[in-house]
Each structure stands twice: as C-alpha cells, then as structure tokens.
C-alpha cells in the first residue's frame, strides 16, 4: 500500500496541482496538512471525483489536516466500523498475499476494487453459514449496539435498483432514539439514479422526494426481518412522507438484510 504526505499550503488555491499529483502518484492513502481552509470549504466533491474519500478538520489559518483514501477501501471500512483503518489495510494485504482476495483498479476512477479469488469463493458457504447462525441464535437487536451509519451502509447495498422509477430520487432518512453513546450522524440521504445508489452524509442540496423518519430500533427490527414495514408504520415507529406513489413503492425498493429470511 502506498501512503503519501503532502504539505498543501492552501488546498483551495492549489487544488488543480493537488489533483495532478494524486493522478500521477496514485497513493492509496494521502495525508494533508496546512489546508488553510474552513471546514465547509474543503473540496470533497472534487476529491471524490478523483477516486478518494476523505475525513478532514479545516481551519482558516495555517492549520487544518485531512486523510484521503481510495473509495473502495472506505466502503469496506464502513462495513467494519469497529476496526481501525490501519488494521483493515493490513488484513486486506494479508488476504491478498494468501490468495483469498484480489485488488485491482475499479471500473471508474482510480480506486482499488477488491474481489474474491477462486479460493475466496470456495469459502463463501462458510461465511454464509456463520451469518445464518448469527441471525437465528444471537440477540437480534441490542439497543445499545445500534449504529445508524452501519445500518445505512448496509441499506444502500441492498436496494432493488430494477424496481426504482426512471427519474432520479432523493430519499432522506432521519433516525431518532439513538443510543446515548452514539456520536455519528443521524440524518442520511440516498441518491437513487438507476442503476446507481449513493449514500450521502451531507445534504446534496436537492428537493427531497421521500422522507423516512424512523425510530432506529424499530427500523433495525424491520431490516432484520423481525417486523414488517406495515407494523412499524402502523405503530408510528416509522413515518413516510412524500408523493403517494413513492410511499407505496418504497417497500419494493428494499431487499432488507441478506439474512432477513432466516427463521428465528
């Protein structure tokens, strides 16, 4: 894995130079300092278009730092919220060295995309069996362990894109009654533009077509297959607001958890 550092000395003014450097060097992870830009002026969209996700702390003075990584790495990390980025990178490299996964350029952008080798595919039934066992025998929903971000990461991967309408849609999710220890976001946006589904942590700025206002525990129960959408809507744990045809169609867009059909 290639890790690079860059003393930016003003990320807004030097953005074209920075983008050329990223294209030339192709680091998997890049660490920036001296952003000299406020939090809301960070060029997240331009860096995402270049194939990088980012976390940053902006300041107008000489300070301000950011860490960039390839988008596919970010997607894997969102699915493993309790593992550090460093440890995840190490584990992926070990799996690659062991011949279980492959890493190659993604179809779009400069990001790496990970896939299973023949050996990895042979291991799939074992992982599926563990997942089914967990769904059947472990505690379904522990309120203290609920994570809205992890739930939304899972949800955006389980959209029935063939059921989506032809027009682009923006769906806003607002979660309430989160665990006291929760420190992440509670509002998310899904941009649905068939066949693409994009999860946003910042307001995309467009009109919302459908609002999903939900108690986090109840929505997790629905997602895992313990309750139907009709149940959680009827007891007002989940409220859907939008055009009538979109509200009616919404359940058909959700495939729910991969293991939701496993009986308790």
- For 221-256, how does the pLDDT look when each residue is reduced to its tens digit (9 = 90+)? 999 999 999 999 999 999 999 999 999 999 999 999
Q: Supply the pLDDT for residue 2.
A: 67
Q: Supply the pLDDT for residue 219.
A: 97
Beta bridge partners of residue 69, listed in sequence order: 29, 53
Q: Count CA atoms within 13 Å of residue 140 on its CB side.
A: 18
Mean pLDDT of all residues in 9-34: 86
Q: In this prediction, what percent of the chain has a pLDDT beyond 90?
A: 33
Question: How much is the mean pLDDT over the chain?
Answer: 85
Residue 85: pLDDT over 80: no
Residue 105: pLDDT over 70: no
Q: Supply the pLDDT for residue 107.
A: 47
Q: Supply the pLDDT for residue 224.
A: 92
Query: 51-55, 125-129, 208-212 — which is least confidently predicted?
Result: 51-55
Structure tokens at 237: 């744990």
Asked if residues 81 and 147 have their Cβ atoms less than 8 Å apart, the reply is yes
Tens digits of residue pLDDT in 148-185: 988 998 899 899 999 999 899 999 999 999 988 877 88
Residues 6+ apart with CB under 8 A from 252: 160, 163
Enter the pTM of the model.
0.64
Could you say which DSSP state residue 259 is in?
T
Strand, helix or coil for residue 113: strand
Helices (H), 28-187: 44-49, 71-78, 85-97, 118-137, 148-156
Mean pLDDT of all residues in 71-99: 72
70 confidence band (pLDDT: 50, 70, 90): low
């Amino acid at each position: 894995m290639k890790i690079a550092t860059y003393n930016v000395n003003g990320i807004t003014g030097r953005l074209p130079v920075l983008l050329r450097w990223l294209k030339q060097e192709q680091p998997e992870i890049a660490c920036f300092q001296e952003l000299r830009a406020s939090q809301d002026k960070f060029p997240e969209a331009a860096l995402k278009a270049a194939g990088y996700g980012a976390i940053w702390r902006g300041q107008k003075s000489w300070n301000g730092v950011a860490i960039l990584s390839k988008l596919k790495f970010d997607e894997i990390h969102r699915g493993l919220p309790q593992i550090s980025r460093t440890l995840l990178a190490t584990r992926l490299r070990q799996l690659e060295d062991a011949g279980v996964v492959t890493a190659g350029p993604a179809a779009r952008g400069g990001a790496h995309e990970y896939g299973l080798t023949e050996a990895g595919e042979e291991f799939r039934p074992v992982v599926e069996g563990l997942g089914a066992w967990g769904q059947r025998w472990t505690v379904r929903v522990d309120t203290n362990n609920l994570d809205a971000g992890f739930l939304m990461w899972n949800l955006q991967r389980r959209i029935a894109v063939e059921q989506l309408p032809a027009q682009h849609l923006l769906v806003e999710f607002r979660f309430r009654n989160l665990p006291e220890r929760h420190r992440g976001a509670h509002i998310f946006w899904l941009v649905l533009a068939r066949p693409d589904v994009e999860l946003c942590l910042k307001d995309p700025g467009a009109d919302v077509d459908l609002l999903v206002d939900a108690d986090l525990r109840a929505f997790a129960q629905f997602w895992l297959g313990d309750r139907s959408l009709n149940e959680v809507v009827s007891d007002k744990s989940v409220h859907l607001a939008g055009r009538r045809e979109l509200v009616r169609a919404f359940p058909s867009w959700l495939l729910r958890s991969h293991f939701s059909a496993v009986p308790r």
